């Protein structure tokens, strides 16, 4: 967490608070003098007046100042807490993918289906029904690839009719179950961090995407990726995703400054040259777009370098946040300038502690 005095950025932080800007998660917490409570930037509670708030760079500093944590947004939790209902249903899906939970099943458990749908949509960006379907079909694909009989797979994954199974399979994967060996998937995982959630997409070729779930352009990039590769995207586990979660966790814990993740081949030749140059920027240092352009032998392609930097979509691990303007300004960053500033200060702190 940055230790820079926050009073210089109080107006910026208050505007972020009014917008409930998720890119400021982990950057500050706000204390409300009239209630004695401190909150996250995204707290859903009614927003206080400007003169009644005080900003802190961490929850601990707010506690030391005499504020108590908000019970609604729970600012003491690192990252975003998984709602209890979402985690309960997710575990039930993982433990029994062959038995889809329908609305009547949820009602028998005392769960309102609309609540489950709304909470899943808010946390995962898809409804509970869509999550179940994706996991069931991903599991079915794995079973067919391992040589399991199609009828057995159909019945084991909750499909009573062969036509229903074929239709659902083809809708997600673009082909019939008998051609499963030709299907390619990207597995998706959300990774929680102190600055907000990150979406990771990977398969046996390596990491395709690792970026903030709220960054502008991410949804459009995923659609482009699906169109170009013809890959289906399903939630699930993969060794690359596990490695990504571990290394990102170590990075934010101050235990890692460099990454060893395998990258899937992506981008044009020019983009790859830019991304390779980004990987050569040491933690704790920055380079300008013009310096990157000269490094790759294209000194006049500064704007093209900036575009390639923005098209990275494997943030942090390919450190596009280490590129700044020639005048030293932070310039743009898809995850928001507040995050970019935090990451640079975090890495400088890592380097200074290691020295």
Instruction: Please check whether residue 4 is in contact with residue 31, taking contact to mean a CB–CB distance below 8 angstroms.
Output: no
Q: How confident is the model at residue 168 (pLDDT cuts 50, 70, 90)?
A: low
Annotation: binding site for Zn(2+): 39, 43, 70, 73
Q: Domain 7-69 sits in which CATH superfamily?
A: DNA Methylphosphotriester Repair Domain (3.40.10.10)
pLDDT at position 178, please?
Answer: 46
pLDDT at 179 over 80: no
Q: Where, residue-wise, is CATH 1.10.10.60 in the chain?
A: 84-183
The CA distances from residue 265 to 38, 70, 249, 258, in Å, are 45, 45, 24, 20
pLDDT at 174 over 60: no
Q: CATH number for the 184-355 domain, one of 3.30.70.260, 1.10.10.10, 1.10.760.10, 3.30.479.10?
A: 1.10.10.10
Annotation: binding site: 39, 43, 70, 73
84-183 topology per CATH: Arc Repressor Mutant, subunit A (1.10.10)
**Mean pLDDT score, 127-144:** 66
pLDDT at 113 over 70: yes
Name the burial class of residue 227, with classes exposed (0-12), middle (13-18) and buried (19+) by CB atoms within 10 angstroms of its CB. Answer: exposed
> Which of the residues are catalytic?
39, 320
- Top pLDDT among 240 and 237 is at 240
Q: Where, residue-wise, is CATH 3.40.10.10 in the chain?
A: 7-69
Q: Where, residue-wise, is CATH 1.10.10.10 in the chain?
A: 184-355
pLDDT at 182 over 90: no
- Top pLDDT among 324 and 120 is at 324
Query: Average model confidence (pLDDT) for the chain?
Result: 82
- Top pLDDT among 278 and 227 is at 278
The tens digit of pLDDT for each residue in 264-300 reads 999 999 999 999 999 999 999 999 999 999 999 999 9
Q: Model pTM?
A: 0.69
pLDDT at position 3, please?
Answer: 40
């Amino acid at each position: 967490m940055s230790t820079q005095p926050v009073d210089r950025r109080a107006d910026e932080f208050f505007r972020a608070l009014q917008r409930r800007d998720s890119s400021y998660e982990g950057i500050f917490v706000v204390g409300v003098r009239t209630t004695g409570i401190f909150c996250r930037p995204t707290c859903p509670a009614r927003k206080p007046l400007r003169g009644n708030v005080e900003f802190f760079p961490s929850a601990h500093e707010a506690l030391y100042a005499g504020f108590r944590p908000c019970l609604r947004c729970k600012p003491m939790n690192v990252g975003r807490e998984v709602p209890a209902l979402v985690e309960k249903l997710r575990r039930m899906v993982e433990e029994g993918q062959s038995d889809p939970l329908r609305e009547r099943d949820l009602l028998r458990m005392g769960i309102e289906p609309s609540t489950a749908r709304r909470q899943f949509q808010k946390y995962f960006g898809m409804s509970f029904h869509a999550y179940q379907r994706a996991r069931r079909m991903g599991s079915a694909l794995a079973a067919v690839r391992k040589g399991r009989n199609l009828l057995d797979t159909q019945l084991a994954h909750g499909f009573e009719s062969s036509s229903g199974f074929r239709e659902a399979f083809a809708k997600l994967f673009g082909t019939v179950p008998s051609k499963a060996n030709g299907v390619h998937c990207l597995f998706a995982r959300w990774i929680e961090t102190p600055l907000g959630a990150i979406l990771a997409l990977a398969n046996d070729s390596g990491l395709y995407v690792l970026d903030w779930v709220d960054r502008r352009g991410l949804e459009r990039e995923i659609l482009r990726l699906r169109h170009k590769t013809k890959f289906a995207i399903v939630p699930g586990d993969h060794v690359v995703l596990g490695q990504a979660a571990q290394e990102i966790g170590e990075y934010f814990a101050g235990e890692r400054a460099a990454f060893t993740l395998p990258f899937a081949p992506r981008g044009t030749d020019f983009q790859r040259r830019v991304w390779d140059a980004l990987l050569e920027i040491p933690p704790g240092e920055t380079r300008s777009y013009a310096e990157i352009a000269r490094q790759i032998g294209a000194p006049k392609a500064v704007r093209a370098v900036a575009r390639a930097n923005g098209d990275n979509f494997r943030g942090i691990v390919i450190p596009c946040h280490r590129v700044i303007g020639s005048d030293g300004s932070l310039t743009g960053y898809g995850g928001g300038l507040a995050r970019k500033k935090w990451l640079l200060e975090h890495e400088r702190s890592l380097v200074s502690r290691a020295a």
